[in-house]
Structures are given as structure tokens and as C-alpha cells.
Structure 1
Amino acid sequence: MTSSPPPENETDYVLLRHLEAATDANQRELAKRLGISVGKVNYCMRAVVNRGWVKVNNFRRADNKLAYAYLLTPSGVNAKLQLARMFLERKEQEFEQLQREIQMLRNEVASGDGREQ
């Protein structure tokens, strides 16, 4: 079963979280971790850089391939915290809804235990 892509603000949060943990991750690795296309990662990276949340440093490795280091700026750290709060709130609401559905199913199963099939 494949999951649907996360909402935009969730993508930004997960992207910032991964960049904070692995500043040298490339966009292909990020796309795989986030479950989205490399093009979407590129689009999101440009957006977080343009917002001033991430600073990009490029450098050349010994094998002459261009590499990048992604660093969260202070405003990026604050944005990540705000996005984490929103993400947590949404997940808590989903959890509460799921608990209600589980209880309804338990009640339905319990009330049907004595019936003939």
C-alpha cells in the first residue's frame, strides 16, 4: 500500500527535519525519505531557501562533483518548530478521531456477539 504525498506544510516540516539531521543529504535521498519526486523536493527546497529557512553552501568534492550542504537558519529553526506544533495538533486530532471510531467498532462487535449469523 502506498501512502499519498503529505500536505505542503507537512512536507516542509519533514524536509526541515531531515535537513537538520543530515545537512549533506542530496535531493534524491531526500525524495526517497519523504516519498515524493526529486522534482517536488527541488521545488520545496527552493521555497524554503527563498523563505530564508535554509542556507545552501556548495563546495567541490575531491572527485570534482558539485555537492551541497543545507543549513537551517534561525528563522528555519523557528519555522520548523511552528510546523511541528501544527503537525502534532493535526496528528492528535486524527488520533482522537481514530479512538472514537475504534470504540464504535468495539461497541458494534460487542452488541453483535449474541446474534445468529
Structure 2
Amino acid sequence: MTQRELAGELGISLGKANYCLRALVDKGLIKTANFRRSQHKARYFYQLTPHGLKEKAGLTKRFLKRKIKEHQALTEEIARLREEITG
């Protein structure tokens, strides 16, 4: 996916996508490299660094914890509502 395609997918400008990608590189979350065999030497690929993978895993873990809590709350609400109906 090109930066232009990424920007379109996210609904942001190309400049903003580039700015954000550069910030991720600066934070050490992703690294860039040229496509060695590409005729377009300005093309880069982005790869998560070990630090980036750790951050991604942390985000995923926090997301799953939130979803589990939401599921538990909904299950309890459904049980409460059923009790009210059959009460």
C-alpha cells in the first residue's frame, strides 16, 4: 500500500500520513528501507521494530481486556433483564 492509498483509507491528507509515519519512525516503532530491486528508488517499506511489536501487543491486550469487560457487562445486563421479564 502506498502512502497515498494509506491516507485515502484513513481519510487523511497525504502530508498527514507522511508526518505520522515519520513520527512512528522517530519513536522507533517502525523502520523504513528501500525496495532493493525496485526501479522506483524512492519507494520504501515500513516494518515494525521489536519495540513497535511490543507496543502493538500491548494495545491488543488492552483492547481485548476492554472487550471482555464489555461482554461481561452485557451478559450481566441481559441476565438482569431476563430476571425482570420472568420475575
TM-score (norm 2): 0.66
- Point out where structure 2 has 5 or more consecutive residues left out of the alignment: none
- Point out where structure 1 has 5 or more consecutive residues left out of the alignment: 1-24, 112-117
Pick the aligned partner of 2:27 from 51, 57, 66.
51
| Residue 38 (structure 1) aligned with residue 12 (structure 2) | yes
C-alpha displacement at 1:31, in angstroms? 5.6
Amino acid at match of 2:46: Y
Pick the aligned partner of 1:82 from 27, 47, 58.
58
Rounded Cα–Cα distance in structure 1 between residues aligned with 2:7 and 2:86: 46
Structure 1 residues 44 and 106: CA distance shift in structure 2, 3 A: farther
Task: Give per-residue Cα distances to partners, 1:51-103, cap 9 Å, x unaligned.
Answer: 101012244844x4843211111111111122222122111111111212222
Identify which of structures 1 and 2 has the higher relative contact order when contacts are C-alpha pairs closer than 8 Å and 6+ apart: 1
Contact 2:34 2:43 in 1 (8 A): yes
Structure 1 residues 45 and 81: CA distance shift in structure 2, 3 A: same
Could you say what secondary structure the match of 2:43 adopts? strand
More helix by percentage: 2
Task: Give per-residue Cα distances to partners, 1:12-50, cap 9 Å, x unaligned.
Answer: xxxxxxxxxxxxx33424763xxx323497154333222
Structure 1 residues 109 and 65: CA distance shift in structure 2, 3 A: farther
Q: May I ask how many residue pairs the two structures share in their alignment? A: 83
Q: How large is the RMSD of aligned CA atoms in angstroms?
A: 3.0
Structure 1 residues 72 and 100: CA distance shift in structure 2, 3 A: same
| Residue 97 (structure 1) aligned with residue 56 (structure 2) | no
TM-score (norm 1): 0.53
Structure 1 residues 66 and 107: CA distance shift in structure 2, 3 A: farther
